[in-house]
Structure 1
Amino acid sequence: MGVVTFRRARTDEQRSQRRRQILDTAAAMLTEMPVAKLSLNELSRRVGLAKANVLRYFESREAVLLDLLDTEVQDWITELQQLPTAGDGTARERGDQLADILATSMARRPVLCDLLGAQGAVLERNISTEVGIRHKHAARQSLRTLVEFVLRHLPELGNDGAAALVESTLLMSMSAWQCSRPSTAMLAVYASDPELAAMRIDFTELVRRTTAVTAAGLLARRGHGENAVRPA
């Protein structure tokens, strides 16, 4: 698509639609390429606007991606909220179920994982304080909602324990995603030797295992053994 003649969006609705178009295009691009490969020039070309006109709506490439991250997190939370609550099993069983839900749901959302993995080193750079404040307020609300979701499954954790589990799961997923996306050279290394291939990281399994272990540890510190049943 070539660059089309720019028509200024004059109403709030038109500006919102233009921003949505830019975000949707960026999201589509991230299904084809990692965050590191997405350039403002290519985004502008695909949207059909000059780069200067894209910058009328977002102050930088990073601001686009940060806004997209907030949207992806909200979509993920919406999916989680529609899932049934863990049954009446022991705390250990419910913790394992919760770990599986979090790990598998994130693995189904590669764009979310890629954005999370780039958040600190890429997305939160080259932005204004205003954009950063808006993002952190959105992130704070998302964390609160995720804590509520965790407490549905493991009320024994309490607010502090649930917050700790959410934070550790997100931090692990950020690191695990990057480490589980080997380069072409590393893929060849793994293919050359089964013993080396065993070192390749499985994102879903790593996040599932570490989340389950963290949940068990937090429960133990609060005096709830793995055989504890859900409070009445």
Structure 2
Amino acid sequence: MSEFRRARRPEHVEARRTAILETASSMLRSRSVSDISLRELSDEVGLAKSNVLRYFDSREAIFLEVLDRTWGEWLDSLDLPASFGDGPFAREVAVATEIAWSAGTNHLLCELISVTASVLERNISVEVARTFKQRAAAHTDRLAALVRAAVPALSPEAAGHFAGAVFVIVAGLWPYAQPTESVRAATAELGMPAAGEMFQSGLTEGLVNQLVGLVARSAG
């Protein structure tokens, strides 16, 4: 802990920040954001809360940074299809389906997106908010460019709308993929699909309809 307090060189500070972010990411693999307090995170890193706050403004600022990194890594790994089947809007269906599968199976990304507006964008400074919004806009623009390269019929404006819709639809659906035990039991009794299956099918349907609709409107 004393070595943490003595960190002054930029590379040492960055190493400390990375350690905090990696610990936060690790904790999120088995817990939700709402279940992780700053004190618990600090204990896991091996620091006092005051020392963690030397590197980040707040708990929310930490998780926004994790989201930024996770979002960028997801885009790095996104591989949109280059070949498509036959039928109307086959290209659009294939592209939207791949995005839905890739995003939907990234639980860390989905968890952080789902609490961005309601939790993570609270209790942060103007500087943190500005930086996050700039990076979020860059990620959205990057996704829009990838989608437009795969679906040339899409206008730049429509591609931007679709990229934003990915974030919004994930945010709206993900909480339902994490039901309580009571809700899980009730849905099973009623013969309804498992929550994870419903989330993935709903995300796919939502993104397919968005992309197909935007291309159809562009053509019209």
TM-score of the superposition, structure 1-length normalised? 0.88
Quote the offset at 1:143 in angstroms: 1.0
* SS of residue in 2 equivalent to 1:157: coil
Cross-structure match for 1:99: 96
Counterparts of 2:81 and 2:187 in 1: how far apart (Å)? 39
Counterparts of 2:193 and 2:98 in 1: how far apart (Å)? 25
1:153 aligns with 2:150: yes
Answer yes or no: is the 8 Å Cα contact 2:141–2:163 preserved in 1.
no
Cross-structure match for 2:21: 23
Q: Give the aligned residue type for 2:205.
A: R
CA distance change for structure 1 residues 47 and 199 in 2, over 3 Å: closer, same or farther?
closer
Identity %: 34
Equivalences for 1:156-195 in 2 at 5 Å?
156-194=153-191
Cross-structure match for 2:140: 143
Cross-structure match for 2:72: 74
Q: Give the aligned residue type for 2:9.
A: T
Deviates more, 1:90-99 or 1:48-57: 90-99
1:25-72 superposed Cα distances (whole Å, 9 cap, x missing partner)? 000000010111111111101101111000000010000001111001
Unaligned runs of 5+ in 1: 225-232
Quote the offset at 1:199 in angstroms: 8.7
Deviates more, 1:179-188 or 1:86-95: 86-95
Quote the RMSD (CA, aligned, Å). 1.7
Unaligned runs of 5+ in 2: none
Quote the offset at 1:198 in angstroms: 4.6
2:217 aligned residue (215, 221, 228): 221
Counterparts of 1:198 and 1:43 in 2: how far apart (Å)? 35
Cross-structure match for 1:64: 62
Quote the offset at 1:108 in angstroms: 2.0
1:12 aligns with 2:10: yes
Quote the offset at 1:84 in angstroms: 5.1
TM-score of the superposition, structure 2-length normalised? 0.93
CA distance change for structure 1 residues 133 and 29 in 2, over 3 Å: closer, same or farther?
same
1:112 aligns with 2:109: yes
* SS of residue in 2 equivalent to 1:156: coil
Answer yes or no: is the 8 Å Cα contact 1:107–1:204 preserved in 2.
yes
* SS of residue in 2 equivalent to 1:94: helix
Counterparts of 2:51 and 2:166 in 1: how far apart (Å)? 38
Counterparts of 2:7 and 2:194 in 1: how far apart (Å)? 52
Counterparts of 1:147 and 1:65 in 2: how far apart (Å)? 24
Q: Give the aligned residue type for 1:177.
A: W
Cross-structure match for 2:51: 53
Cross-structure match for 1:208: 204
Answer yes or no: is the 8 Å Cα contact 1:86–1:97 preserved in 2.
no
